[in-house]
Amino acid sequence: MYEDEAVKLNDYAARLKELRACLDVDGTKQEIAEIERQMSASNFWDDPESAQKVVQRLKGLKGIVVAPDALDQEIADALVLLELAQSEADESLGAELAALDRQLGERLDRLEITSLFSDPRDGNNAIINIHPGAGGTESCDWAEMLYRMITRCCERHEFTVEVMDYQEGDEAGLKSATIIAEGPFAYGNLKSEAGVHRLVRISPFDANKRRHTSFAAIEVVPQVDDSINIEIKEDELKMDVFRSSGPGGQKVNKTSSAVRLTHLPTGLVVACQIERSQHRNRAVALQMLKAKLYDIEMQKKEAERIALREGQAEAAWGSQIRSYVLHPYQLIKDHRTDTETGNVDRVLDGDLDLFIASFLKWKLERKGRN
Protein backbone atom coordinates (compact mmCIF):
# COMPACT_ATOMS: atom_id res chain seq x y z
CA MET A 1 0.00 0.00 0.00
CA TYR A 2 1.17 3.53 -0.87
CA GLU A 3 4.09 2.27 -2.98
CA ASP A 4 3.54 4.99 -5.61
CA GLU A 5 3.44 7.74 -2.99
CA ALA A 6 6.64 6.42 -1.41
CA VAL A 7 8.45 6.38 -4.75
CA LYS A 8 7.34 9.94 -5.55
CA LEU A 9 8.29 11.38 -2.15
CA ASN A 10 11.72 9.74 -2.21
CA ASP A 11 12.23 11.04 -5.74
CA TYR A 12 11.28 14.54 -4.58
CA ALA A 13 13.77 14.29 -1.71
CA ALA A 14 16.55 13.24 -4.11
CA ARG A 15 15.71 16.02 -6.61
CA LEU A 16 15.65 18.60 -3.84
CA LYS A 17 19.04 17.45 -2.57
CA GLU A 18 20.54 17.94 -6.03
CA LEU A 19 18.81 21.29 -6.38
CA ARG A 20 20.13 22.52 -3.02
CA ALA A 21 23.64 21.70 -4.21
CA CYS A 22 23.02 23.49 -7.52
CA LEU A 23 21.76 26.60 -5.72
CA ASP A 24 24.57 26.31 -3.15
CA VAL A 25 22.09 26.70 -0.29
CA ASP A 26 24.69 25.80 2.36
CA GLY A 27 27.20 28.30 0.97
CA THR A 28 24.48 30.95 0.81
CA LYS A 29 23.63 30.35 4.46
CA GLN A 30 27.27 30.92 5.37
CA GLU A 31 27.23 34.20 3.46
CA ILE A 32 24.02 35.20 5.25
CA ALA A 33 25.64 34.50 8.61
CA GLU A 34 28.66 36.63 7.65
CA ILE A 35 26.47 39.55 6.52
CA GLU A 36 24.41 39.37 9.71
CA ARG A 37 27.66 39.47 11.68
CA GLN A 38 28.68 42.64 9.79
CA MET A 39 25.28 44.21 10.44
CA SER A 40 25.62 43.68 14.16
CA ALA A 41 28.64 46.02 14.25
CA SER A 42 27.98 49.36 15.94
CA ASN A 43 29.29 51.37 12.97
CA PHE A 44 27.32 49.47 10.30
CA TRP A 45 24.97 52.40 9.53
CA ASP A 46 27.71 55.05 9.48
CA ASP A 47 27.61 54.82 5.68
CA PRO A 48 23.84 54.55 4.93
CA GLU A 49 24.26 54.05 1.17
CA SER A 50 26.70 51.17 1.60
CA ALA A 51 24.62 49.68 4.41
CA GLN A 52 21.49 49.72 2.26
CA LYS A 53 23.27 47.75 -0.45
CA VAL A 54 24.28 45.14 2.13
CA VAL A 55 20.68 44.92 3.38
CA GLN A 56 19.43 44.39 -0.18
CA ARG A 57 22.05 41.70 -0.70
CA LEU A 58 20.92 39.96 2.49
CA LYS A 59 17.30 40.08 1.37
CA GLY A 60 18.19 38.47 -1.96
CA LEU A 61 20.24 35.72 -0.32
CA LYS A 62 17.46 34.87 2.11
CA GLY A 63 15.08 34.59 -0.84
CA ILE A 64 17.33 31.84 -2.23
CA VAL A 65 17.28 29.63 0.88
CA VAL A 66 13.74 30.12 2.23
CA ALA A 67 11.92 28.06 -0.41
CA PRO A 68 14.33 25.06 -0.42
CA ASP A 69 14.32 24.93 3.40
CA ALA A 70 10.52 25.09 3.58
CA LEU A 71 10.10 22.41 0.90
CA ASP A 72 12.69 20.21 2.60
CA GLN A 73 10.68 20.31 5.81
CA GLU A 74 7.39 19.66 4.04
CA ILE A 75 8.79 16.60 2.23
CA ALA A 76 10.11 15.31 5.57
CA ASP A 77 6.65 15.81 7.12
CA ALA A 78 5.03 14.00 4.19
CA LEU A 79 7.39 11.04 4.63
CA VAL A 80 6.40 10.86 8.31
CA LEU A 81 2.73 10.90 7.30
CA LEU A 82 3.42 8.15 4.76
CA GLU A 83 5.14 6.01 7.40
CA LEU A 84 2.18 6.49 9.73
CA ALA A 85 -0.29 5.50 7.00
CA GLN A 86 1.74 2.39 6.14
CA SER A 87 2.16 1.25 9.73
CA GLU A 88 -1.52 1.64 10.55
CA ALA A 89 -2.80 0.56 7.11
CA ASP A 90 -4.99 3.66 7.14
CA GLU A 91 -6.64 3.98 3.74
CA SER A 92 -8.31 7.27 4.73
CA LEU A 93 -4.96 9.01 4.35
CA GLY A 94 -4.68 7.98 0.69
CA ALA A 95 -6.45 11.05 -0.74
CA GLU A 96 -4.49 13.37 1.55
CA LEU A 97 -1.17 11.83 0.49
CA ALA A 98 -2.09 11.99 -3.21
CA ALA A 99 -2.99 15.69 -2.93
CA LEU A 100 0.20 16.35 -0.99
CA ASP A 101 2.24 14.57 -3.66
CA ARG A 102 0.80 16.84 -6.36
CA GLN A 103 1.40 20.02 -4.36
CA LEU A 104 4.99 19.09 -3.51
CA GLY A 105 5.69 18.10 -7.11
CA GLU A 106 4.41 21.44 -8.45
CA ARG A 107 6.44 23.41 -5.91
CA LEU A 108 9.58 21.42 -6.69
CA ASP A 109 9.07 22.04 -10.40
CA ARG A 110 8.92 25.79 -9.71
CA LEU A 111 11.98 25.63 -7.51
CA GLU A 112 13.93 23.86 -10.25
CA ILE A 113 13.12 26.80 -12.51
CA THR A 114 14.99 28.99 -10.00
CA SER A 115 18.21 27.15 -10.81
CA LEU A 116 17.95 28.46 -14.39
CA PHE A 117 18.14 32.13 -13.38
CA SER A 118 21.36 33.67 -14.72
CA ASP A 119 20.63 37.42 -14.74
CA PRO A 120 21.62 39.24 -11.50
CA ARG A 121 18.31 41.13 -11.77
CA ASP A 122 16.22 37.94 -11.76
CA GLY A 123 15.73 38.22 -8.00
CA ASN A 124 14.15 41.69 -8.29
CA ASN A 125 10.49 42.61 -8.22
CA ALA A 126 8.88 43.06 -11.64
CA ILE A 127 7.11 46.05 -13.16
CA ILE A 128 4.60 44.82 -15.73
CA ASN A 129 2.72 46.95 -18.25
CA ILE A 130 -0.05 45.54 -20.44
CA HIS A 131 -1.63 47.39 -23.35
CA PRO A 132 -3.72 46.42 -26.41
CA GLY A 133 -2.43 46.58 -29.95
CA ALA A 134 -4.16 46.42 -33.33
CA GLY A 135 -7.75 45.25 -33.11
CA GLY A 136 -9.84 47.85 -31.23
CA THR A 137 -12.30 46.48 -28.67
CA GLU A 138 -11.15 42.93 -29.42
CA SER A 139 -7.59 43.77 -28.38
CA CYS A 140 -8.73 45.68 -25.29
CA ASP A 141 -10.60 42.56 -24.20
CA TRP A 142 -7.55 40.40 -24.99
CA ALA A 143 -5.36 42.75 -22.93
CA GLU A 144 -7.69 42.24 -19.96
CA MET A 145 -7.46 38.45 -20.41
CA LEU A 146 -3.66 38.74 -20.30
CA TYR A 147 -3.93 40.95 -17.22
CA ARG A 148 -5.88 38.19 -15.49
CA MET A 149 -3.40 35.55 -16.71
CA ILE A 150 -0.45 37.46 -15.27
CA THR A 151 -2.12 38.25 -11.94
CA ARG A 152 -3.23 34.63 -11.56
CA CYS A 153 0.35 33.52 -12.30
CA CYS A 154 1.50 35.84 -9.52
CA GLU A 155 -1.01 34.27 -7.13
CA ARG A 156 0.27 30.79 -8.02
CA HIS A 157 3.81 31.92 -7.21
CA GLU A 158 2.66 33.76 -4.08
CA PHE A 159 3.84 37.13 -5.38
CA THR A 160 2.21 40.26 -3.99
CA VAL A 161 0.54 42.31 -6.72
CA GLU A 162 0.07 46.07 -6.48
CA VAL A 163 -1.96 47.81 -9.20
CA MET A 164 -0.20 51.07 -10.07
CA ASP A 165 -2.38 52.08 -13.02
CA TYR A 166 -5.49 50.69 -14.70
CA GLN A 167 -7.30 52.41 -17.58
CA GLU A 168 -10.53 50.76 -18.70
CA GLY A 169 -11.36 50.32 -22.38
CA ASP A 170 -14.11 52.40 -23.96
CA GLU A 171 -16.39 49.39 -24.53
CA ALA A 172 -14.65 46.44 -22.89
CA GLY A 173 -11.31 45.31 -21.51
CA LEU A 174 -8.51 47.74 -20.75
CA LYS A 175 -6.50 50.46 -22.49
CA SER A 176 -3.47 50.13 -20.21
CA ALA A 177 -2.52 48.53 -16.90
CA THR A 178 0.62 48.59 -14.81
CA ILE A 179 1.30 46.33 -11.84
CA ILE A 180 4.26 45.58 -9.62
CA ALA A 181 4.81 41.93 -8.69
CA GLU A 182 6.76 41.59 -5.45
CA GLY A 183 8.41 38.38 -4.30
CA PRO A 184 11.56 36.28 -4.62
CA PHE A 185 12.58 36.05 -8.30
CA ALA A 186 9.45 37.81 -9.53
CA TYR A 187 11.30 39.33 -12.51
CA GLY A 188 13.09 36.06 -13.29
CA ASN A 189 9.78 34.23 -13.47
CA LEU A 190 7.79 36.84 -15.39
CA LYS A 191 10.31 38.16 -17.92
CA SER A 192 9.34 35.33 -20.29
CA GLU A 193 6.05 37.16 -20.90
CA ALA A 194 7.63 40.31 -22.37
CA GLY A 195 6.50 40.77 -25.96
CA VAL A 196 3.47 40.72 -28.23
CA HIS A 197 0.79 38.06 -27.64
CA ARG A 198 -1.56 37.04 -30.47
CA LEU A 199 -5.07 35.66 -29.98
CA VAL A 200 -7.24 33.86 -32.57
CA ARG A 201 -10.86 33.20 -31.55
CA ILE A 202 -14.51 33.58 -32.44
CA SER A 203 -15.25 37.15 -31.44
CA PRO A 204 -17.73 37.61 -28.57
CA PHE A 205 -18.33 41.12 -29.98
CA ASP A 206 -19.22 40.00 -33.51
CA ALA A 207 -22.91 39.21 -34.08
CA ASN A 208 -21.93 37.11 -37.10
CA LYS A 209 -19.58 34.95 -34.94
CA ARG A 210 -16.61 35.46 -37.22
CA ARG A 211 -13.05 34.56 -36.33
CA HIS A 212 -10.85 37.49 -35.25
CA THR A 213 -7.13 37.95 -34.58
CA SER A 214 -6.16 40.30 -31.75
CA PHE A 215 -2.85 41.54 -30.36
CA ALA A 216 -1.72 42.87 -27.00
CA ALA A 217 1.73 43.64 -25.61
CA ILE A 218 3.29 42.93 -22.24
CA GLU A 219 6.34 44.80 -21.02
CA VAL A 220 8.32 43.40 -18.07
CA VAL A 221 11.23 45.26 -16.45
CA PRO A 222 13.01 44.67 -13.13
CA GLN A 223 12.30 47.15 -10.37
CA VAL A 224 15.43 49.04 -9.33
CA ASP A 225 16.29 50.06 -5.78
CA ASP A 226 17.53 53.41 -4.51
CA SER A 227 21.15 52.28 -4.88
CA ILE A 228 20.82 52.57 -8.69
CA ASN A 229 21.58 56.16 -9.67
CA ILE A 230 19.60 57.18 -12.76
CA GLU A 231 19.61 60.93 -13.36
CA ILE A 232 16.44 62.42 -14.85
CA LYS A 233 16.32 66.18 -15.35
CA GLU A 234 13.10 68.01 -14.57
CA ASP A 235 13.05 69.69 -18.00
CA GLU A 236 13.02 66.21 -19.57
CA LEU A 237 9.68 65.37 -17.93
CA LYS A 238 6.12 66.18 -18.89
CA MET A 239 3.56 65.53 -16.14
CA ASP A 240 -0.18 65.12 -16.63
CA VAL A 241 -2.71 64.57 -13.85
CA PHE A 242 -5.99 62.73 -14.24
CA ARG A 243 -8.72 61.06 -12.23
CA SER A 244 -8.12 57.51 -11.04
CA SER A 245 -10.25 54.71 -12.50
CA GLY A 246 -10.47 50.94 -12.74
CA PRO A 247 -10.34 48.23 -10.06
CA GLY A 248 -9.24 48.94 -6.54
CA GLY A 249 -12.36 49.94 -4.63
CA GLN A 250 -11.62 52.37 -1.84
CA LYS A 251 -7.89 52.09 -2.53
CA VAL A 252 -8.27 53.96 -5.82
CA ASN A 253 -8.64 57.70 -5.33
CA LYS A 254 -11.39 59.35 -7.37
CA THR A 255 -9.83 62.85 -7.28
CA SER A 256 -7.41 64.12 -9.92
CA SER A 257 -4.31 62.87 -8.14
CA ALA A 258 -3.26 60.19 -10.63
CA VAL A 259 -0.03 61.08 -12.44
CA ARG A 260 1.29 60.31 -15.91
CA LEU A 261 4.95 61.09 -16.66
CA THR A 262 6.40 61.30 -20.17
CA HIS A 263 10.18 61.19 -20.59
CA LEU A 264 10.63 63.55 -23.54
CA PRO A 265 14.04 62.30 -24.80
CA THR A 266 12.87 58.68 -25.11
CA GLY A 267 9.08 58.98 -25.31
CA LEU A 268 8.65 56.53 -22.41
CA VAL A 269 5.37 56.94 -20.53
CA VAL A 270 4.54 55.73 -17.02
CA ALA A 271 1.50 56.30 -14.83
CA CYS A 272 0.52 55.74 -11.22
CA GLN A 273 -2.85 56.19 -9.56
CA ILE A 274 -2.71 53.95 -6.50
CA GLU A 275 -1.75 56.58 -3.94
CA ARG A 276 -4.13 59.28 -2.68
CA SER A 277 -1.40 61.89 -2.83
CA GLN A 278 -0.39 63.38 -6.18
CA HIS A 279 3.12 63.82 -4.78
CA ARG A 280 3.36 60.11 -3.87
CA ASN A 281 1.98 59.03 -7.24
CA ARG A 282 4.61 61.17 -8.96
CA ALA A 283 7.37 59.65 -6.81
CA VAL A 284 6.26 56.08 -7.63
CA ALA A 285 5.89 56.89 -11.34
CA LEU A 286 9.39 58.39 -11.35
CA GLN A 287 10.75 55.20 -9.79
CA MET A 288 9.08 53.12 -12.53
CA LEU A 289 10.53 55.42 -15.18
CA LYS A 290 14.00 54.97 -13.70
CA ALA A 291 13.51 51.20 -13.88
CA LYS A 292 12.69 51.42 -17.59
CA LEU A 293 15.66 53.66 -18.33
CA TYR A 294 17.96 51.39 -16.36
CA ASP A 295 16.64 48.39 -18.27
CA ILE A 296 17.48 50.11 -21.57
CA GLU A 297 20.97 50.86 -20.31
CA MET A 298 21.49 47.23 -19.25
CA GLN A 299 20.39 45.99 -22.65
CA LYS A 300 23.09 48.05 -24.33
CA LYS A 301 25.71 46.35 -22.17
CA GLU A 302 24.48 42.80 -22.73
CA ALA A 303 26.39 40.69 -25.25
CA GLU A 304 23.23 38.96 -26.49
CA ARG A 305 20.82 41.01 -28.54
CA ILE A 306 17.56 39.70 -27.10
CA ALA A 307 15.23 42.59 -26.30
CA LEU A 308 13.82 42.48 -22.78
CA ARG A 309 11.33 45.13 -23.75
CA GLU A 310 9.74 43.43 -26.73
CA GLY A 311 6.44 44.75 -25.49
CA GLN A 312 7.49 48.09 -27.01
CA ALA A 313 7.45 46.58 -30.50
CA GLU A 314 4.47 47.28 -32.74
CA ALA A 315 1.67 45.06 -31.51
CA ALA A 316 0.67 43.55 -34.84
CA TRP A 317 1.15 40.55 -37.11
CA GLY A 318 4.73 39.28 -37.38
CA SER A 319 6.06 40.59 -34.08
CA GLN A 320 4.35 38.16 -31.69
CA ILE A 321 6.27 35.96 -29.25
CA ARG A 322 3.35 33.64 -28.55
CA SER A 323 0.08 32.67 -30.24
CA TYR A 324 -3.10 31.57 -28.50
CA VAL A 325 -5.47 29.80 -30.87
CA LEU A 326 -8.95 29.10 -29.46
CA HIS A 327 -10.64 28.37 -32.80
CA PRO A 328 -10.84 26.22 -34.96
CA TYR A 329 -8.59 24.19 -32.62
CA GLN A 330 -7.02 24.93 -29.23
CA LEU A 331 -3.26 25.47 -29.05
CA ILE A 332 -0.82 27.88 -27.43
CA LYS A 333 2.63 28.07 -29.03
CA ASP A 334 5.69 30.11 -28.04
CA HIS A 335 7.46 31.14 -31.24
CA ARG A 336 10.85 31.59 -29.57
CA THR A 337 11.14 28.16 -28.00
CA ASP A 338 8.57 26.18 -30.07
CA THR A 339 7.00 25.09 -26.78
CA GLU A 340 3.29 24.38 -27.14
CA THR A 341 0.31 23.01 -25.24
CA GLY A 342 -3.35 22.32 -25.94
CA ASN A 343 -4.39 23.07 -22.36
CA VAL A 344 -5.34 26.68 -23.08
CA ASP A 345 -7.64 27.10 -20.07
CA ARG A 346 -4.90 26.20 -17.61
CA VAL A 347 -2.44 28.63 -19.22
CA LEU A 348 -4.95 31.48 -19.35
CA ASP A 349 -5.63 30.77 -15.68
CA GLY A 350 -2.02 31.59 -14.91
CA ASP A 351 -0.12 28.29 -15.14
CA LEU A 352 2.88 29.59 -17.11
CA ASP A 353 5.56 27.31 -15.64
CA LEU A 354 5.97 25.33 -18.89
CA PHE A 355 6.69 28.51 -20.86
CA ILE A 356 8.82 30.06 -18.10
CA ALA A 357 11.10 26.99 -17.88
CA SER A 358 11.48 26.62 -21.65
CA PHE A 359 12.21 30.34 -22.04
CA LEU A 360 14.93 30.29 -19.36
CA LYS A 361 16.57 27.24 -20.96
CA TRP A 362 16.36 28.91 -24.37
CA LYS A 363 17.99 32.07 -22.97
CA LEU A 364 20.83 30.06 -21.43
CA GLU A 365 21.42 28.18 -24.68
CA ARG A 366 21.53 31.42 -26.70
CA LYS A 367 23.84 33.01 -24.15
CA GLY A 368 26.16 30.03 -24.41
CA ARG A 369 26.35 30.41 -28.21
CA ASN A 370 27.17 34.14 -28.04
What are the DSSP calls for 194-249, one per residue? Answer: -EEEEEEEE-TT-TT--EEEEEEEEEEEEPP-TTS-----GGGEEEEEE---SS-G
pLDDT, tens digit, 9 for 90 and up, residues 327-357: 999 999 999 999 999 999 999 999 999 999 9
Does residue 82 have a pLDDT over 80? yes
pLDDT, tens digit, 9 for 90 and up, residues 252-261: 444 568 899 9
Higher pLDDT, 88 or 227: 88
In this predicted structure, what is the pLDDT of residue 86? 82
In this predicted structure, what is the pLDDT of residue 249? 42
Q: Residues 171-198: what's their mean pLDDT?
A: 93
- 293-297 long-range contacts (CB < 8 A, ≥24 apart) are 293/230, 293/232, 293/263, 293/266, 293/268, 294/224, 294/228, 294/230, 295/221, 295/222, 296/266, 297/230
In this predicted structure, what is the pLDDT of residue 306? 45
The sign of the dihedral angle between the CA atoms of 244, 248, 249, 253 is negative
In this predicted structure, what is the pLDDT of residue 305? 45
Domain range 3-114, CATH architecture: Up-down Bundle (1.20)
Q: Residues 204-224: what's their mean pLDDT?
A: 89
Three-state secondary-structure class, residue 369: helix
Q: Taking the model in full, what pTM does it have?
A: 0.73
Nearest 5°: phi and psi at 143? -60, -40
Locate the domains of the chain by residue range: 3-114, 120-369
CATH number corresponding to 120-369:
3.30.70.1660
Does residue 127 have a pLDDT over 90? yes
Does residue 237 have a pLDDT over 80? yes
Whole-angstrom distance, CA of residue 347 vs CA of residue 355: 9
Does residue 1 have a pLDDT over 80? no
